[in-house]
Structure 1
Amino acid sequence: MAGPLRIVAVRHGQSEANLAYQESMNVPLVYDRSDDEVTLTELGRRQAAALGRALGALPEEERPEVVWCSPYLRALDTWAVAHAAWGADALPVRIDARLRDREWGELSRYNLTAIEELFPEEVARLLSDGEYGYRPPGGESFGDVAIRLRDFLGDLRELSDGRRVLLVAHDSVVLILRHVIEETPDADLAAIEEHAPIWNASVSTWRLTGDRLELVAFNDTGHLPPG
Structure 2
Amino acid sequence: MSVDLEWVAVVRHGESTGNVAREAAESAGADVIEVAERDADVPLTDLGRHQAKAAGAFFAERPPDLVVTSTYRRARDTARLAAPVGVRIVPDERLRDRELGVLDLLTSHGVRERWPDELRRKRRLGKFYYRPPGGESWADVVLRLRSLLNELSADHPGARVLLSAHEMTIYALRYLLEGLPEPELMRAAGATEVPNGSVTTWERDPDGAFTMVLAQQVAPLPS
2:137 maps to 1:133: no
Task: Pick one of 206, 209, 214 that aligns with 1:212.
Answer: 209
Q: Please tell me the residue identity of whatever aligns with 2:199.
A: V
Q: Please tell me the residue identity of whatever aligns with 2:120.
A: A
Q: 1:204·1:217 contact (CA, 8 Å) conserved in 2?
A: yes
Q: 1:10·1:204 contact (CA, 8 Å) conserved in 2?
A: yes
What stretches of structure 2 of length at least 5 have no aligned partner? none
Structure 1 residues 57-110: Cα deviation after superposition (integer angstroms, max 9, x where no partner): x2xxx3212101100000001112224xxxx43212221111111110122122
SS in 2 for 1:217: strand
In structure 1, C-alpha distance between the alignment counterparts of 2:130 and 2:3, rounded to whole Å: 34
2:36 maps to 1:39: no
In structure 1, C-alpha distance between the alignment counterparts of 2:107 and 2:17, rounded to whole Å: 14
Structure 1 residues 204-227: Cα deviation after superposition (integer angstroms, max 9, x where no partner): 111122122222111111427xxx
SS in 2 for 1:5: strand
2:161 maps to 1:165: yes
Aligned to 1:118: 114
2:39 maps to 1:4: no
Aligned to 1:66: 66
Q: How does 1:119-198 map to 2 (within 5 A)?
A: 119-186=115-182, 188-198=184-194
SS in 1 for 2:197: coil
Aligned to 2:52: 48
Q: 1:11·1:170 contact (CA, 8 Å) conserved in 2?
A: yes
In structure 2, C-alpha distance between the alignment counterparts of 1:68 and 1:196, rounded to whole Å: 24
Q: 1:204·1:220 contact (CA, 8 Å) conserved in 2?
A: yes
What stretches of structure 1 of length at least 5 have no aligned partner? none
Q: 1:33·1:109 contact (CA, 8 Å) conserved in 2?
A: no
> CA RMSD for the aligned pairs?
2.0
How far has the Cα of 1:19 moved from its partner?
A: 0.6
In structure 2, C-alpha distance between the alignment counterparts of 1:75 and 1:124, rounded to whole Å: 32
In structure 1, C-alpha distance between the alignment counterparts of 2:113 and 2:198, rounded to whole Å: 33
Q: Please tell me the residue identity of whatever aligns with 2:32.
A: L
2:76 maps to 1:79: no
In structure 2, C-alpha distance between the alignment counterparts of 1:128 and 1:186, rounded to whole Å: 15
Q: 1:51·1:201 contact (CA, 8 Å) conserved in 2?
A: yes
Q: Please tell me the residue identity of whatever aligns with 2:4.
A: G
In structure 1, C-alpha distance between the alignment counterparts of 2:177 and 2:78, rounded to whole Å: 24
In structure 2, C-alpha distance between the alignment counterparts of 1:52 and 1:215, rounded to whole Å: 20
In structure 2, C-alpha distance between the alignment counterparts of 1:32 and 1:132, rounded to whole Å: 29
Distance 1:33 1:111, change over 3 A: farther
In structure 2, C-alpha distance between the alignment counterparts of 1:172 and 1:12, rounded to whole Å: 11
How far has the Cα of 1:195 moved from its partner?
A: 4.9
In structure 2, C-alpha distance between the alignment counterparts of 1:66 and 1:195, rounded to whole Å: 30
In structure 2, C-alpha distance between the alignment counterparts of 1:183 and 1:78, rounded to whole Å: 28
- Among all aligned residue pairs of Structure 1 and Structure 2, give the percentage whose two residues are the same amino acid: 35
Q: How does 1:68-107 map to 2 (within 5 A)?
A: 68-83=68-83, 88-107=84-103
Q: 1:98·1:149 contact (CA, 8 Å) conserved in 2?
A: yes
Aligned to 2:32: 29
